[in-house]
Every structure is written in structure tokens, then in C-alpha cells.
Structure 1
């Protein structure tokens, strides 16, 4: 694993702020192919929380704010940080000037208001914000004011995320549902889409970059590449072979056990450590998991240690950890995690099933092989659940089908996904009442409202412990552990900063 440690060390160096010398202007030109885990179900990032949708569409659309390299909030389409009233109820946001949409029209406050109203109507995170937003008004053509019903600390983070995203689009397109005109303000615009073949983006010559240097998702966004083509490669082994052969400039979401094989190929392995957490989301709305005793039985039956070992092979690539955020994150706490049993507790699970009067109805687990580690965890989980007394049905589908089916509570009991460690806990899908899983309870609302109403960072950290305990007590989801992610990058592709949602503005081809 010496090679592995060298890669992790080099990754840490890559995450340092770019210097002026490092960002001397490269030559423009070139086309790159980026291999992704499949075909995105939509190019409307308001309508989906799928990471794949965010990865592609963040090049086309932009939000008012984004995240810098330290996961702080940074202006993007906003000219500056908002002016917040002393009572925390009014956010006055100045807008950038001279910003154009891909159709050549200028962005103004009418576009922002129409876009945010659409976001509050159709995006899960927008619906979450809509519960506390009283009004959004124009101050003038280049400023808007958001009025809240009560203080809401996560607002700017919700406005910054790239999935279920508060993208700004022309006001005349905001009534489209689903979105049919894919026009944003981003550095690249949609040129062509051949389903299951590629999504082709081309440089938008009218793009106005922010000044300064690149800073995470914030700062300057330069368009050195002529085109970016996102190529769906659903089979994990095919992605690995493509990485080894140098078929792609960048390959996302590779099985970590392929690290050594990729190291000997034509692309370089890139590891993000820690990347995030695999999660089993439970359907609390209807079916088996509407009964808390069944959810508790699942929680007791699952064995994270064996699930993670099957999914990632070596402890270099995972950690058995029930805390929602690992050590090193401000939100780290172990409150409530007594229910997290690394090796499971079959007897306790069986007793809970008996108490619930379980009648043998199949527990339907919705998963996909495009993220191979999801599927491997599902296989191990099924065996532990069977040992506890469950009948288990594995429904293995394409990722695009999974993201569609999970919106229908009649089709599943558990679906498997994963998430990076998000900078704001309230961005996590289960925090929204309307997110698939549909966790709604008085306890949730009580602890989450207290957490979201508090603006003091230290006090919010303490209040998050109550949120984590509610998650463990009510089991809307099961965190399996922590994991590292593996990608591959061509040695000629420069300027790419490792990130949970890889982006290719500021990227260039050496020697182009």
C-alpha cells in the first residue's frame, strides 16, 4: 500500500490553493472524454439529487453561491455575500452584472426570482427552504431580497449545492416542468446529447468568469477546453479497462480494488479520503418500513463490517464508523450510535421481527451495479437480513431507473445510495420531508428546527448531536460506514482539483 499512501499524499497537495504561477494561462483547445457511471436521468438539476446529474449540469448552470476549497460559502452569480438583517430574517443578495445566459440574454433579478420560485416548487431542497421563506422580492434589476418566516442557518448552503440545485435560468423557461430548454449561465453549454452515448458540452464564449484565482467550486472558472464529453459507462469493469487503456481523460467512480491495476496503466489513480458514506435509505412512508419495529430490526440485523469488507476489500479504503461525520469534521459526535453494531445482532433483529408480527412479506432492496459497491453491500445485507428472519427481494436496476423508481413509495422498501460528507448536515437528503424515504415525525421537526434556527456555529455543533440521536432512534436510514473514492485521470489533463463532484472548468490539456 506504499503506492496508495503516495497517491493520498499527492492528493493533499493538489487540494492546496492554486498559486498565481500555477495558473499561468495555458493554451485553449482540446476535447476530453469523461467516463461516468451511466446516463443521467435528467439534465434538470432542480429535479434530482443524483450526484451524476450534478456532476454534468454544474458546467451548464450556476447558482447564486457555491463552496470554496474549505467548504465555506462563496459568491458565484451573486456579486457578494448577502446583507443579513440583525434578526436573521432578511437576506439582501446583490447580483453580478454583465452575466449572460447561453441564449445571449442578460441575467437580472426577474430571472433569479422565477428560478428560485421554481426551485421551491420542484426541488427537494427547495421545498425544504420553502417552508421558511415568506417572500422573494426584487430590490432592483441587480438585487433580490429573501424574507424568512424564522431564522434558518442552512439557507446559503441550500442555495449553493449542485444537486436539487437552485440554478438560475431565464425567467421564460422557469415554467417548464420538466425542463426542455437547457440554458444556463455556466462556462459550457449543451451542444448535443445522444442518450447512452454521450453528452457533449461546448465552451460558452459569452461566459463571464469571476475574478481572482480558483478556489474550490468558487473563484475563477476558466474555459481552456473546447469541449467536454460525458460518456456513460455503466459497467464498472469496462470503466476500469478504459482507465487502464487511457481511453478517457477522466474516469469517475472506480472500484477501489482496481487501484493497483490502474496504477500500472495509462492513467493515474486519484483517491479522495475520506469521500463519504454509503447509506441504506428506508421507506418510512408506506410498506414494511412504515413500522418502526421493522426499521429497528433492519438496523440490528445489518453488519457494517462485513458489508464494507465485501464492498471495498481493504481497510485502506473504508472505516467502520457509525458517526454521521467522522473525526476531523466539525459535526463529529458519537451521540446515539449505541445502536450501530459493526457485526450486527441477529438475535435482537429476530426478536423485533417477532414483536412486529412480521408475516414474511418480501423486503424489497433497490440497488444498481453501476456503483458496484452498492450491489456488493446489498448482497451481504440480504444474507444478514435473511438470517434474522426476513424474506428479501433484490431489485437490481440501472442507476437512472433507480433514481426514478425511488420517487414512488410503492416500489421499494430500501434503496442504496451514498453521499459525500456535506458541509452542512441539513443538506443531507433525509433532512427534507419530501426526499425519497419521506421521514416525517414530530421528533425530527423538533430537533431539526432547533438546529436550523441557531446561527452560532458552536451551538449548532452541540444541537447536531440531538439530530444524530433522532436518526438512530427513528431509523430513516442506515449509515454503513466511511469510504474512500477512486477515480483515474490522464497525465496530460491538468488543472483538475480533486472534488466529490469532479469539474472541468480550469482544466486543460498539457502540450495542447
Structure 2
């Protein structure tokens, strides 16, 4: 049976979810978590980078989040909103007694100021601002959001942990960039030493929700004294650290390291299916402002060879042009004909000739911190050059990539990836202000109809129209589906497998 939201992926190792067994654990301990590099910011409103969301979700919280079945569940909100019959008014009750890291108590004034900042700064906030008529504090514990038109993705957009609608103190909401890293989360920032570690310590006055842990929602229990996120940009160094047991958790390992990890001091964790790698096109300026060039790229690329180079074994990937795999209700094969497993060089050459391509370099922005990004880029370069492109590979640190992609003068394609998101409107390309800057009448017509519909079955049908426009206008190229590999120490327990790993509810058991 298909579902509208994928349950948390299963793992190869038997990871204990944070349930009653974890509740009985004694607090204490420090863990080191190896990440793919240094985050470009600790302001999750200002970045869509998964790395930023992974770290900062421990510091800041949102009104809503996603439960274990990927449905929206309250976090700082006391309950689900009351929605008017016309779908235009959302009345959100707030939890009381929630304390910020600076000791102040959260009120509706903080929420209104935070959401105003989100709409001004975050790509997903700007996307949402287009349909918001106003946000007001009804009283100290109630906020009302009024819409210009019905907008089905609102709660999902308020729930995501990147370009996130975090709640911060009202007096900090004017900061841009954010200078005071004060949230309501279970851990607070103690120290950041760039390129060495980000140290989070238990927030003693944290107000957890009652009940059981539930994915990113429910109770958030602070068993650990301290979490240190350690940037380890080189994938081989992450592998060796995992094999040696240097870290309690190692994120984003090359999948070909599975056997080595399985024979080492930590245990492999596989999330399957995890998500999709994507080549994002700069539609605003440069070569890819010409649709014919983008279509030539679409024709030239050979996803089967790209995925094979990136992941090695079909155990870790599948070739699939649909933006969602067939285990999702959002799955549709509509308009996927241009997706050719081994590419179509002749069609690409014809499109280049039609566009009058003058030999200008096609600049691909990528990083080796996600090694599979780089391997896909290498294969893509060969196929693009066979079609007649001159290709320039710009290989930078991931933090630099996330900064450079904000400047349309610096790139034509950048390579990224995403977990399969429970709501398609969370996809970066759905926002006009997301790097790539895809904004056309055809997009707006399809996306607005999709977002305005509240009936789940009708939304599934309307997503087919969205996918059709994506294939027709090529703002991005989905390469395929892939699984992800991480590693976890045997004595680290209470960690539920998740695309953005989190460590509240985690605890250290016996060696």
C-alpha cells in the first residue's frame, strides 16, 4: 500500500528506538559525531543545507515537526491548529512554560517576530510569504496565521529543519546574520571552534513534551551531557574513523565502505531508500538561462553510469526518472520520457546546435565531501563533452559550495541531494528564491493549483502536472534513487534511523 509520507527508513543494524527502555537510562556521557564538514552557518533560516539542519535541530525548535510516520505533529505548538472552513485562518495554540536558552519564556510575540524573520530570510519562508496575508499574536499563547488563498503545504513548511521556521527570542529576530544562537532546544551551543568542533551541552531548563518519543516529535530526552559535532571533510578519513571507533556516529559514508565498516569497531547503518541526487540548473543567468541548453544537458546525461560510478552496487541505487519512487503516493511516470538510462547524445548535440552554443564553459559546482557527488560529476563531464559541451569542474568545500550557489554569476550546475521529502512543496526547486531561481508562468500555474488543493487524492493527481513542468523546463535533473550509509558505535543506543540524524533520546549503554 502506498503512503503519503514514508516511515523512517529501516537500518541494517537493530537500532533501539527511544522508548521506555531509553527512559530508564541514567543521564551522562559525551559523544563525538563526525559530519561531512564545517556548516556554513548556525542559522537554519539562512540555509537549506542538510548539515546545518542536522546540527541546529538540537539548538532550535519549530512550531511543528514530523512524527515517525512523517505526519506533522506539534513541537512548540500545544496542539494542531484550528483551521477555518475556508482554509484561510490557522489558529495555533502555543505551549506555555517553554524557556529559551537565555532564560526568557517563549510567548506569541517571539513566535510572530520569528516567523516574520523566516519570511524575510529563508527560501521556504519567502515561498510561504507569497500566500500569507498576516501573522498576529491573538494573546500571549496563541498565534493566528491568515492566508490569501488555501495553502496545503503550510504545516509541512513550518515543520522542516532547514530553511527552518525556528522560534527565537523577539529581540534577536532583527539579526541578519544571526549573532545570538539562542533557541528552546534540548541542547545549547557551548562553543564553536571552526574546523574542529561544535560543542552542544544539555540545556538544564529544557521543557520536553510529555508522552513517548515520536520521530522528530514527542518527548525529547536529554540523556547525554554533551554532543560534539566534528567536521571530517575527507570521506576516507570518515571511513577510517568509523572503522577505528573514533566516533560514536559517522554520517554520510561512501557506500562502498560497507564491508570495511561491518568489520570494524562501529556498525553500519543503511537507510533505504534515502533520497535522490540532483543536478540543479542556474535558470537565472549564464548558459542555463537558455531552455535549449538545459534540455541538451537533460538529453546528454547517462544516469545509469552516473549512479554506478557513485554507488558501485545496485544494492545501493536504482535508476528512476520519477521524482518519487513507487513506494510513495506521489509517484508518477508522467513526462519522464526524456530520462534515458544511457543518455541520448545525438539529441543533445542537435539541441546544442539549435541553441547556437558558442563553446562557453559549462561550470559544474561540486564537492568531494559528498564523494558520490564528485563521482557523478566526473561521469557527467564525459557525457556532456561527448555531446559537444566544454565543461569546467569547480570542486570546493561543501561550506563554500553552499555560499557560492547563492551567487548566480558563479555556476551553471550545482550538485546536491535530498532525502525523499514527505511534502513535494518542500523540494528546493519549488521555491522561486532557492538557488537555481526557477520562476515561470507554467511553474506557477502547476504549483499553485497543487498547493491550493487540500484533498490528498486530488493533490496526487496535481503533482503529475508539477512533474510534467519540471521535465519540460528542466530546472533540475534527478539522477536516480539511492540508499545512504552511516556508522554507529555499539554502545550508542536510542538513536532512531533518520535522514537527519538526531541525538536527543540517545544514551550510552554498556561497552
Query: Do Structure 1 and Structure 2 share a fold, with TM-score over 0.5?
Result: yes
Displacement of 1:511 in angstroms is 3.4
Closer, same or farther in 2 for the Cα pair 1:9/1:70, shift >3 Å? closer
CA distance in 1, matches of 2:257, 2:182: 38
1:5 paired residue number = none
Q: Which runs of 5+ in 2 are unaligned?
A: 1-8
CA distance in 1, matches of 2:337, 2:345: 16
Displacement of 1:24 in angstroms is 3.6
1:257 paired residue number = 256
1:27 paired residue number = 26
Displacement of 1:445 in angstroms is 0.2
CA distance in 1, matches of 2:133, 2:329: 31
1:4 paired residue number = none
Verify the 8 A CA contact 2:212 2:219 in the aligned structure 1: yes
CA distance in 1, matches of 2:343, 2:15: 38
CA distance in 1, matches of 2:180, 2:438: 33
1:475 paired residue number = 474
1:180 paired residue number = 179
Q: Which runs of 5+ in 1 are unaligned?
A: 1-7
CA distance in 2, matches of 1:232, 1:440: 35
1:160 paired residue number = 159
Displacement of 1:18 in angstroms is 5.6
1:276 aligns with 2:293: no
2:133 paired residue number = 134
Provide, for residues 417-457 of structure 1, a one-character-per-residue CA deviation record: whole Å limited to 9, x for no partner.
00000000000000000000000100000000000000000
Q: Which runs of at least 4 in structure 1 moved beyond 4 Å after TM superposition?
A: 8-15
1:411 paired residue number = 410
Verify the 8 A CA contact 1:271 1:484 in the aligned structure 2: yes
Q: Map 1:382-421 to 2 at 5 A.
A: 382-421=381-420
CA distance in 1, matches of 2:203, 2:54: 18
1:243 paired residue number = 242
1:267 aligns with 2:266: yes
1:211 paired residue number = 210
Q: Map 1:72-91 to 2 at 5 A.
A: 72-91=71-90
Verify the 8 A CA contact 2:19 2:494 in the aligned structure 1: no
Secondary structure of the residue aligned to 1:205 is coil
Provide, for residues 275-301 of structure 1, a one-character-per-residue CA deviation record: whole Å limited to 9, x for no partner.
000000000000000000000000000
2:379 paired residue number = 380
Verify the 8 A CA contact 2:29 2:225 in the aligned structure 1: yes
RMSD: 1.1
1:368 paired residue number = 367
Secondary structure of the residue aligned to 1:451 is helix
Displacement of 1:330 in angstroms is 1.2
Displacement of 1:11 in angstroms is 4.7
CA distance in 2, matches of 1:45, 1:391: 36
CA distance in 2, matches of 1:191, 1:23: 25
2:3 paired residue number = none
Secondary structure of the residue aligned to 1:338 is coil
Provide, for residues 102-154 of structure 1, a one-character-per-residue CA deviation record: whole Å limited to 9, x for no partner.
00000000000000000000000000000000000111000000000000000
Provide, for residues 465-502 of structure 1, a one-character-per-residue CA deviation record: whole Å limited to 9, x for no partner.
00001000000000000000000000000000000000
Closer, same or farther in 2 for the Cα pair 1:10/1:394, shift >3 Å? closer
Provide, for residues 376-421 of structure 1, a one-character-per-residue CA deviation record: whole Å limited to 9, x for no partner.
0000000000000000000000000000000000000000000000
Verify the 8 A CA contact 2:322 2:333 in the aligned structure 1: yes
Verify the 8 A CA contact 2:10 2:270 in the aligned structure 1: no
Displacement of 1:86 in angstroms is 0.2
Displacement of 1:25 in angstroms is 1.6
Verify the 8 A CA contact 1:11 1:498 in the aligned structure 2: no
Q: Map 1:262-341 to 2 at 5 A.
A: 262-341=261-340
Displacement of 1:23 in angstroms is 3.4
2:504 paired residue number = 505
Secondary structure of the residue aligned to 2:198 is strand
Secondary structure of the residue aligned to 1:339 is coil
CA distance in 2, matches of 1:150, 1:23: 44
